[in-house]
Amino acid sequence: MPTSSSSELELVDLPETPDASGAYPRLTDAQITLLSRFGTRRRLPKGAALFREGDRDCDFFVILDGMVSVWQQTDGDSQLVAVHGPGRFLGDLSLLTGQTLYVTATAEQDVEALAVPVERLQEAVVEDPALGDLILRAFIVRRSLHAGTGAGFRVVGSRFSSDSRRIRDFASRNRIPHRWVDLEEDSEAEGFLRRLGVSPEETPVVIWKGEHVLRNPSNTELATLIGLRAAPAREAYDLVVIGAGPAGLAAAVYGASEGLSSLVLDAVATGGQAVTSSQIENYLGFPAGISGAELADRAVVQARKFGATFTVPGEALSLREAEGYHVVGLSGGEDVTAHAVILATGVQYRRLDVPGLDRFEGSSVFYAATESEAQLCGGDPVTVVGGGNSAGQAALFLSRRSSAVHLVIRHHDLQRDMSRYLADRIERTPRIRVWRDCEVHRLEGDLAIRSVVLRELGNGRTHVLDSSALFVLIGSKPRTAWLEDLIELDEHGYVLTGVTSRRGSLFETDTPGVFAVGDVRSGSVKRVASAVGEGAMAVRLVHDFLERAGRR
């Protein structure tokens, strides 16, 4: 297995890994010839590492001759991930996002490889967009595979700890491969912690590369560890985008591609609420659907390619004017200065008004249905509350994992607030039962939910449902509390723009040079496609503002 010294390697002849998922495509001779113009050939002896777990800013390697094995660390041991021969390429999404790598690649025999710097790779795919799409798709699939096999860091803690939930949410929302070790379930967990000199009272802890231990790290510490967070690097940006959902990502892509120095801030993760959608089937250009996570990852890579900078987490707490500039104050104490600002902070989920709900929020009440939450539920029955598209997508996704899904709506018509194609599919799914004209009355359980009690709105009759988790998807409210008294808001807290804000520009607020797009904007259509369109259009208005102000 790979170690820090190539002389200690115990290498064996291993068959090449088959490619059943599209994660390991083989490049054609023509594609390799194209890439050769942008890279250099390198010879590596048997046992040499092409890159190691934890490395950053590595080259893109194409194997020309020989075999390379890929390994990941699992609780101090090395686990073989794949073996590649000529024509295959190495790496995953981290190469394109600037994050640390989660695997180690080692020469199984003397190897000749083509090493292409990432910035030169971007030049190559401009000449052959199909090659770029092939590489990006493979990297996204590999990231998913790594997450499923336990690559990345370990999170050890109690499922009932709010900090454990925070760390896991942060990792899941940012698509960071990690493995969860539950102190209540894993009989060997306490012994593992003792070997690291950690007591159970110090959990949750994050363990990176089997040796680096972070005791209850903040999201910022975790992001810094894996190279997710880039600190602002300019005295003043042309454009600062606050919020990295679909609207903010679109603004970043168009802003950076049109020559604006662009910084994107988000308090939690790139992708916004779209990341919680397992399959978006009504987004233009993707007839087979696309997950919110893949859409976000593609957008981030695209924006970075054009030069946009991302600071995640980067929570905006204040906005003020100073000497003709806009100054955004961040939670870490930093200030970011910009000529123009686009507000794309989106919305946050509403909570149910059920007594004692907060008691279960660390363990079995969720506000998104992603792979992370599905794994926690296992195959047990679950309950989803909500009648919109998010609730419908969650019910369908969970029905593939859970023995039963109870979907609870407060009215009778499933198609009232949900797209017809989703409602029809739910009606045809045997594992989903729709409870109409009902509400959640109370939750039963000790440390986690055991059952959900429903009450019929018409007659007060109650029903007890076996359920290990409750998914609450009942609408949202804008993330604008920090903007009160700074920007004009409507009576519901959404940002006023255009004529309603006394500005002539469609998306401009009552503060010149500050724009709002997407779900946070008053009167917006709450759809991914419209959010992307608004983000793109706002960049044109930013250009107009900068020209009027004499700043271009």
List, in order of start, the domains of the chain with CATH numbers. 6-148 (2.60.120.10), 153-225 (3.40.30.10), 237-348+477-548 (3.50.50.60), 357-474 (3.50.50.60)
The confidence score (pLDDT) of residue 375 equals 81
d(CA 63, CA 371): 33
Most confident of 120-134, 161-175, 276-290: 120-134
Three-state secondary structure string covering 34-77 = HHHCCCEEEEECCCCEEECCCCCCCCEEEEEECCEEEEEEECCE
Tens digit of pLDDT for each residue in 341-399?
Answer: 999 999 988 889 898 898 898 789 998 888 778 888 888 999 999 999 989 999 999 99
251 vs 521: CA distance, rounded Å: 14
More confidently predicted of 146 and 339: 339
d(CA 315, CA 479): 11
- Of 36, 49, 52, residue with least CA distance to 121: 36
**Per-residue pLDDT at 503:** 59
Q: Around Cβ 37, how many Cβ atoms within 10 Å?
A: 11
| Contact status, residue 395 vs residue 486, Cβ threshold 8 Å | no
pLDDT, position 261: 96
Amino acid at 196: L
* The pLDDT of residue 3: 44
pLDDT at residue 13, as a whole number: 60
List Cα–Cα distances, 223 to 98, 99, 130, 219, 450, in angstroms.
12, 9, 32, 6, 34
What is residue 223's three-state secondary structure?
Answer: helix
Q: What does the radius of gyration of the chain's CA atoms come to, in whole angstroms?
A: 25
**Cα distance between residue 104 and residue 70, in whole Å:** 6
CB 165 within 8 A of CB 189: no
Q: How many CB atoms lie within 10 A of CB 359?
A: 17
> pTM of the prediction?
0.82
Contact 432, 348 (CB under 8 A): no
In the prediction, which pLDDT does 499 show?
A: 56
- Is residue 111 within 8 A of residue 68, CB to CB? The reply is yes
What burial letters (b/e) apply to 84-100, b meaning 16+ CB within 10 Å? bbbbbbbbbbbbbbebb
Mean pLDDT of 34-46: 97
pLDDT at 322 (0 to 100): 92
In three state form, how does the secondary structure of 367-418 look? CCCCHHHHHHHCCCCEEEECCCHHHHHHHHHHHCCCCCEEEECCCCCCCCCC
What is the band of 504 on the pLDDT scale with cuts at 50, 70, 90? low
CA distance 458 to 28: 65
Q: Is 250 in a helix, a strand, or coil?
A: helix
CA distance 66 to 513: 56
Confidence of residue 148 (pLDDT cuts 50, 70, 90): confident
Q: How far apart are CA 80 and CA 1, in angstroms?
A: 8
| pLDDT digits 0-9 by tens, 313-352 | 999 999 999 988 999 999 989 999 999 999 999 998 888 9
Residue 10 has pLDDT above 60, yes or no: no
Q: Give 192 or 452, the one with higher predicted confidence.
A: 452
Contact 520, 494 (CB under 8 A): yes
Which pLDDT belongs to residue 521? 95
Owner of token pair 């009215």:
411
Between 223 and 499, residue with greater pLDDT: 223
According to DSSP, the residues that pair with 73 across neighbouring strands are: 78
* Lowest pLDDT segment from 105-109, 200-204, 425-429, 494-498: 200-204
